[in-house]
Amino acid sequence: MSEQHHNSSPTELVDRFGRKVEYVRLSVTDRCDFRCVYCMAEEMQFLPRNEVLSLEEIYLVSRAFVELGVNKLRLTGGEPLVRKGILQLVEQLGELPTELLITTNGSQLPRMAHDLKRFGVDRLNISLDSLQSEKFRRLTRTGKLDQVLAGIDAALDAGFERIKLNAVVLKGRNDDEVVDLVEFARGKGIDITFIEEMPLGSITEHDRAEAYCSSDEILAMLSQQYEMIASTEKTGGPSRYYRMADSQSRVGFISPHSHNFCSECNRVRMTVEGRLLLCLGNEHSMDLRQVMREHPGDIELLKQHLIQAMDLKPEQHHFDLNEDEPQIVRFMNMTGG
């Protein structure tokens, strides 16, 4: 496989295993207005401002990636829409020749959905783990369900197509709502993806092994209610999709534990402080902030570093829910959701 890498054009991002990177997830902030139990600790220390990439630096990295063949940029956080000046960045990114997506908790969509659509955002993923107000508040610690539901409606009203809900299912917390969540998605004509929890960061009040609910368990619950038809559709990410005969809504599963998807991984992530993570489940990374601050505005040098970084991309991740301490000490809000 390595020959394929060395013979490939240096204007593309190809790793040692012949996988071409075409999808980049960019964290624009580690801050969030929620404190979801599986994502961060209740009392969080956020990064000082000088350690966070500026909007100009995020745009430069984005442009470099697109010039190297990336065709899909996703803005994540924390909660990306709480970043000051985010609409200005979105407007700039919307002019790049790439698909632009945002993953959000939905809280800011009532006031931002129409601008996001106008500035060129193609699709939205909206996190929704419960349809019960009190349970939603317990899972998010600070979130208001009504605000998120209003955000989903605002996104539909703004004309977004293929809106997707993301639900992290935790045993004993919200696994009894799996069918209700699918019914909600069907009623709105939108998609939903169920995600196995990622063991990132140590959270004292949350036992990950105990809360783990596999994609196969969720699929079994849904199969009692619907005829679930496996689909070969791909959206450029790790989801496996199912359809239901009587609905346009798709049900997806992201299964980092039970159905490892590393062999076809086409993604990298950049944290808000400019660390290029070559794998969600490993610490292999490159410091892009240092490159940009030592050589401001030098996009060609930045592109050379991105090409070199592909050699750091590992073949696969290894997650072990039963370890006392997670192998990855950073929280999901630092990683980019």
Q: Using CA of residue 219, residue 249, residue 156, residue 89, what is the dihedral sign?
A: positive
In angstroms, what CA-CA distances link 227 with 147, 187, 195, 220, 222? 32, 17, 20, 11, 8
CATH number at residue 291: 3.20.20.70
304 — phi, psi (to 5°)? Answer: -60, -40
Quote the pLDDT of residue 260. Answer: 56
The one-digit pLDDT tens for each residue of the chain (337 residues) are 444 444 444 689 999 989 999 999 999 999 888 776 766 666 667 788 899 999 999 999 999 999 999 999 999 998 999 999 999 999 999 999 999 999 999 999 999 999 999 999 999 999 999 999 999 998 888 889 999 999 999 999 999 999 999 999 888 889 999 999 999 999 999 999 999 875 544 434 434 445 678 889 999 999 999 999 999 887 666 789 999 999 999 999 987 655 555 666 788 999 999 999 988 655 678 999 999 999 999 999 999 999 999 998 877 655 444 444 444 444 444 444 4
Are 27 and 270 within 8 A, CB to CB? yes
Euclidean distance between CA atoms 134 and 140, whole angstroms = 10
Burial class (CB in 10 A: 0-12, 13-18, 19+), 297: exposed
Q: What SS3 class is residue 64? A: helix
How many domains in the chain?
A: 1
Quote the pLDDT of residue 3. Answer: 42
Domain span including residue 120:
2-335
CB atoms within 10 A of CB 55: 17
Quote the pLDDT of residue 236. Answer: 65
The single-letter DSSP state of residue 14 is: B
Are 103 and 76 within 8 A, CB to CB? yes
Are 312 and 278 within 8 A, CB to CB? yes
Are 182 and 226 within 8 A, CB to CB? yes
